[in-house]
């Protein structure tokens, strides 16, 4: 168990920028997820922590030790690859025992540890098989066992669940989280699946195009997105971003296509202080838009475009002025295509982003 610190880490492949200026502090036993679309540099970051890639600039520390120039074998990290990367010519037992054999541990101790970890991961009946004789889920457990058997200081997981079927994925999500909490190993988990990141991690690092967009708890990431990228990347469906104009005459207002949203004085002041131009996005999560009953107050009028029932909720796609928004509504509202509805934003859940910089203003 160590504290992992990335200090202004940058990685270029030739002229291609993979990771730019990532600074990150991962505490003892913390579970951090690196989240982002493919090609955002999350796996590169992970491989730099593992020691496979060397950063072009910046340093990496395990506790106070600078490990930037250490080869992977001297870092005591365990890693699970997306492809599992099991050694096909070795049995499951040999696969798990491999890191211990390289450490030249005595035979009986290797045997004890292999059986222990195999039992922990419920693969003790598979030890004699070859990786090719295992299902995807079993292979994944073997890969996890191989990473854990050496009692690593840091556990690195590179999209470990992406090759599993949906049901198994949900199950393994909980399993891995439970295991991590039991063993208290500092863990870095790379995923492009926001559900995995939000549900498993203590903290989430959102990356895009090699840069850190936001670091925060799952709650913060979801409820206080730092910029439009995070807002539109997190959530299914993601946050609605409605282009508006920020104005102030008697009152602070957002003038949007089809409606005008009035802002309270204090919030208006906060926005004004951070603004570069008057062009902003009004951001509202689909679940924070309510359909008003007749007679209730409302912010805008909309026309229903598509209705997608999902059982527990209904996703309604509607047009407001020139923009299209998504609303998560109660199935009981029974909307139909073409219906004219009145919608209300939950005031304390409304976000405003600077359209030029993308930064959140409130």
Yes or no: say if 36 and 208 are a contact pair by the CB < 8 Å rule.
Answer: yes
Task: Report d(CA 40, CA 212) in Å as an integer.
Answer: 9
Q: What's the min distance (Å) between Cβ of 79 and other proteins?
A: 5
Work out whether 132 is an interface residue with other proteins (CB under 8 A): yes
Residues in region 202-221 near other proteins by CB under 8 A: none
Q: How far apart are the first and last CA of the chain?
A: 37
Task: Report d(CA 214, CA 224) in Å as an integer.
Answer: 10
Give the pair of three-digit tokens for residue 263: 């802002």
Q: What's the min distance (Å) between Cβ of 89 and other proteins?
A: 5
Which stretch in 3-11, 78-86, 203-211, 240-248 sits in contact with other proteins by CB under 8 A?
A: 78-86
Q: What's the min distance (Å) between Cβ of 129 and other proteins?
A: 9
Among 79, 148, 275, 328, binds other proteins (CB under 8 A): 79
Q: Using a CB cutoff of 8 Å and minimum separation of 24, what contacts does 11-17 make?
A: 11/41, 11/44, 11/45, 11/48, 11/53, 11/55, 11/56, 11/210, 12/56, 17/209, 17/210
Residues in region 253-292 near other proteins by CB under 8 A: none
Helix (H/G/I), strand (E/B), else coil: 268: helix
Work out whether 70 is an interface residue with other proteins (CB under 8 A): no
Q: Compare residues 84 and 345 and give the one whose CB is closer to other proteins.
A: 84
Q: Compare residues 139 and 213 and give the one whose CB is closer to other proteins.
A: 139
Residues in region 143-162 near other proteins by CB under 8 A: 146, 150, 156
Q: Compare residues 49 and 318 and give the one whose CB is closer to other proteins.
A: 49
Task: Report d(CA 301, CA 340) in Å as an integer.
Answer: 7
Task: Report d(CA 126, CA 324) in Å as an integer.
Answer: 53
Angle between helices 107-120 and 92-102 (to 10 degrees): 130
Residues in region 157-186 near other proteins by CB under 8 A: 163
In 3D, which of 229, 49, 78 has the Cα closest to residue 143? 78
Q: How many residues bind other proteins (CB under 8 A)?
A: 34
Work out whether 72 is an interface residue with other proteins (CB under 8 A): yes
Angle between helices 136-149 and 166-183 (to 10 degrees): 10
Task: Report d(CA 256, CA 254) in Å as an integer.
Answer: 6
Among 39, 71, 264, 331, binds other proteins (CB under 8 A): 71
Q: What's the min distance (Å) between Cβ of 103 and other proteins?
A: 6
Q: Compare residues 77 and 282 and give the one whose CB is closer to other proteins.
A: 77
Q: Compare residues 53 and 281 and give the one whose CB is closer to other proteins.
A: 53
Q: What's the min distance (Å) between Cβ of 104 and other proteins?
A: 10
Residues in region 23-52 near other proteins by CB under 8 A: 47, 50-52
| Residues near other proteins, by CB under 8 A | 47, 50-52, 71-73, 77-79, 81-89, 98-99, 102-103, 130-134, 136, 139, 146, 150, 156, 163
């Amino acid at each position: 168990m160590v504290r992992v610190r990335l200090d202004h880490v940058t990685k270029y492949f030739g002229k291609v920028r993979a990771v730019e200026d990532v600074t990150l502090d991962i505490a003892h036993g913390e579970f951090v997820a690196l989240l982002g679309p493919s090609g955002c540099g999350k796996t590169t970051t992970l491989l730099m922590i593992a020691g496979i890639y060397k950063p072009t600039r910046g340093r990496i520390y395990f506790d106070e030790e600078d490990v930037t120039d250490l080869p992977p074998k001297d870092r005591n990290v365990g890693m699970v690859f997306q492809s599992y990367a099991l050694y096909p010519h070795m049995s499951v037992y040999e696969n798990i025992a491999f890191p211990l054999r390289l450490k030249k541990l005595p035979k009986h101790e290797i045997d004890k540890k292999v059986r222990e970890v195999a039992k922990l991961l419920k693969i003790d009946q598979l030890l004699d098989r070859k990786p090719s004789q295992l299902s995807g889920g079993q292979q994944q457990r073997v890969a996890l066992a191989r990473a854990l058997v050496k009692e690593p200081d840091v556990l690195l997981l590179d999209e470990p669940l992406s090759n599993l079927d949906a049901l198994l994925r949900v199950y393994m999500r909980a399993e891995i989280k439970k295991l991590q909490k039991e063993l208290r190993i500092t863990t870095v988990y790379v995923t492009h699946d926001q559900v995995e990141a939000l549900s498993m991690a203590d903290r989430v690092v959102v990356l895009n195009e090699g840069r850190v967009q936001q670091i925060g708890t799952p709650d913060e990431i979801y409820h206080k997105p730092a910029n439009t990228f995070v807002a539109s990347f997190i959530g299914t469906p993601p946050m609605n971003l409605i282009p508006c104009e920020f104005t102030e005459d008697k009152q602070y207002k957002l003038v949007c296509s089809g409606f005008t949203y009035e802002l309270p004085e204090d919030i208006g002041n906060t926005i004004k202080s951070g603004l570069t131009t008057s062009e902003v996005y009004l951001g509202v999560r689909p679940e924070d838009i309510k359909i008003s009953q007749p007679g209730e107050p409302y912010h805008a009028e909309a026309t229903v475009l598509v209705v997608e029932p999902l059982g527990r909720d209904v996703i309604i796609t509607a047009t407001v002025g020139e923009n299209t928004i998504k609303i998560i509504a109660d199935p009981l509202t029974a909307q139909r295509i073409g219906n004219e509805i009145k919608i209300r934003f939950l005031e304390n859940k409304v976000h405003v982003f600077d359209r030029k910089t993308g930064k959140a203003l409130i």
